[in-house]
Amino acid sequence: MKTILKILGAAICLVLLVITALMVLSIAKAKKNARDAMLTEKYYEGFSSPAALEQKYSQTGGYDVAYAEFPSENRSIQKIRVWYPQEAGPYPMIVVVNASNTPASQYEPFFIRLASWGFLVAGNEDPQAGTGETASITLDFILSCDELTGKIDEGSIGIIGYSQGGAGALCAATNFENSHKYKAIFTGSAAYPLLARNMGWNYDVGRLSIPYFMVAGTGASDDSGSDPDSSFGGVAPLSSLVENYGQITANVAKVRARASGAEHGDILARADGYMTAWMLYHLQGNEEAGTVFFGGHPELLHNENWQDIEIQEMDSLTNLEAPDVPAS
Q: β-strands 152-162, 91-97: how paired?
A: parallel
Instruction: Look at the alpha carbons of 250, 98, 24, 15 in this order and tell me if their dihedral is positive or negative.
Output: negative
pLDDT at 29 over 60: no
Q: What's residue 145's pLDDT?
A: 96
pLDDT at 328 over 70: no
Instruction: Provide the mean pLDDT of the chain.
Output: 88
- CA–CA separation, 264 and 267 (whole Å): 6
Q: Which band of pLDDT confidence, cut at 50, 70 and 90, is reported for residue 257?
A: very high
Q: How many CA atoms lie within 13 A of 57 on its CB side?
A: 24
- The pTM for the full model equals 0.86
Q: Which band of pLDDT confidence, cut at 50, 70 and 90, is reported for residue 39?
A: confident
Residue type at 273? G
Q: Which of 27-36, 58-67, 78-87 has the lowest average pLDDT?
A: 27-36
The enclosing H or E element of 21 equals: helix 2-37
Q: What's residue 6's pLDDT?
A: 55
- CA–CA separation, 279 and 234 (whole Å): 27
The predicted-structure confidence for 203-221, as pLDDT tens digits, reads as follows: 999 999 999 999 999 999 9
Q: Select from 255, 237, 241 the least CA-distant residue to 313.
A: 255
Q: Which of 138-142, 271-275, 321-325 has the lowest average pLDDT?
A: 321-325
Which residues on adjacent β-strands are paired with residue 94?
A: 121, 158
Q: What's residue 89's pLDDT?
A: 80
- CA–CA separation, 303 and 75 (whole Å): 43
- CA–CA separation, 57 and 116 (whole Å): 11
Percent of the residues in the chain that have a pLDDT greater than 70, as a whole number: 83
The predicted-structure confidence for 286-307, as pLDDT tens digits, reads as follows: 999 999 999 999 999 999 999 9
Helix (H, G, I), strand (E, B) or coil at 323: coil
φ, ψ of residue 228 in degrees (nearest 5): -70, -15
DSSP letters for 292-312: TTSSSS-GGGG-TTEEEEEEE
DSSP letters for 167-236: HHHHHHTTSSTTGGGEEEEEEESPPPHHHHHHHT----GGG--S-EEEEEESSTTT--SS-TTTS---SS
* Cα 287 to chain centroid, rounded: 22
> What mean pLDDT comes out for the span 226-246?
85
- CA–CA separation, 49 and 58 (whole Å): 9
Instruction: Look at the alpha carbons of 214, 291, 46, 119 in this order and tell me if their dihedral is positive or negative.
Output: negative
Contact 317, 311 (CB under 8 A): no
pLDDT at 42 over 60: yes
Residues 6+ apart with CB under 8 A from 12: none
Q: What's residue 231's pLDDT?
A: 63
Greater model confidence, 43 or 322: 43
> What mean pLDDT comes out for the span 67-88?
96
Q: Which band of pLDDT confidence, cut at 50, 70 and 90, is reported for residue 28?
A: very low
